[in-house]
Structure 1
Amino acid sequence: MEPYLHKVQYYETDKMGIAHHSNYIRWMEEARVDFLEKIGWGFDRLEEEGIVSPVVGVHGRYKKSCTFADVLEITVKVQKYNGMMMHLAYEMKLAGTGEMLFAGISEHCFLDRAGKPFRMKQIFPELDGMLRQMAAENKENHI
């Protein structure tokens, strides 16, 4: 799957001209939205189907700073999935050089519209199967 591209905007930088650390979490969300759209389960479809998937945890490691006008390639992969919880792994690299800038993980649960957890396999077996397969493939590749 093609990485999501993000060009660092001037307003995302601080007085030193470096992208502020809080932006990386936003960029993770942008890439997650793009990832879900690419697999056919964009937020519009999830919400239409009554699936709510809040973030319950975020972890990240900053490797190198980026600056105004840098283009980032952000890959998203299903790291873990068990039908109720999903961990997505992110890598942000500088486009053109492939230099690693940031690695992160976001953790999500699945809730119905009433805010109650449910097992994806019982209600949405197609999505469950897709996420299980992605997690298995990434586990084999040690992601």
Structure 2
Amino acid sequence: MIDMSKIKPYDRSVYYYETDRMQIVHHSNYIRWIEEARLDWMKQIGWDYKSIEDDGYIIPVLGVTAEYKSMCHFGDDVLIHVSLSEYTGVRVGFSYEIVDKKTGELRTLCTSSHCLLDGNNKLVFIRKAYPEHDKLFKELLEDYKKRQSK
């Protein structure tokens, strides 16, 4: 299993162009941020999107949620903590906590769910295509459930 203590949260600055007239981050940008964070997390565990796409698969988004707790402003720095929160062998779900880097204040909670499709848009069974990641995802899901029950 991967030592999850070595997985770093995604560190991101808030850019001016991401804000609206109220000088807060426009809600649509959080979805972009979690995608950036998910790509970074997957690369850290050794399963990056580029290699998956090179294998002939795509990873569509099946759903996404965002629950805004407090506002991010231009000049803020945030950390995005990514956790694997769902795994069925076909479907993979992630949970995200976006927190202020300085204060640790929770800014946003998000989720996203995904699957793999082949070149004919047929579902791919991760446990068959990537057995090593199937095992890892099961372990990560178990770890996530333990942390949630505390």
Displacement of 1:132 in angstroms is 1.3
Give the TM-score, by structure 1 length.
0.96
* CA distance in 2: counterparts of 1:13 and 1:57, whole angstroms: 24
**Which segments of 5 or more consecutive residues in structure 1 lack a partner in the other structure?**
none
| 1:58 Cα deviation after fit | 0.5
Unmatched runs of 5 consecutive residues or more in structure 2:
1-6
Q: Does 1:77 align with 2:77?
A: no
Counterpart amino acid of residue 90 in structure 1? Y
Matches within 5 A, 1:93-112: 93-112=99-118
The match for 2:26 is 20
One-letter amino acid matched to 2:42: L
Q: Shift in Å at residue 123 of structure 1?
A: 1.9
Helix, strand or coil at the partner of 2:21: coil
For structure 1, which segment, 93-102 or 41-50, has the greater mean C-alpha deviation from structure 2 after superposition?
A: 41-50
Equivalent positions of 1:1-143 (< 5 A) are 1-142=7-148
4+ runs of 1 displaced by more than 2 Å?
none
Distance 1:83 1:27 in 2: 26
Distance in 2 (CA, whole Å) between partners of 1:17 and 1:32 is: 26
Cα offset for 1:29? 0.5
TM-score (norm: length of structure 2): 0.92
Task: Give CA deviations for 1:3-56 in whole Å, capped at 9, x if unaligned.
Answer: 101100000011121111110000010101101111111111111122321101
CA distance in 1, matches of 2:133, 2:127: 8
Give the fraction of aligned pairs with identical amino acids, expressed as a percent.
Answer: 39
| SS in structure 2 at match of 1:141 | helix
Q: Distance in 1 between matches of 2:139 and 2:89?
A: 12
Q: What is the deviation of 1:118?
A: 2.0
Number of residue pairs aligned between Structure 1 and Structure 2: 143
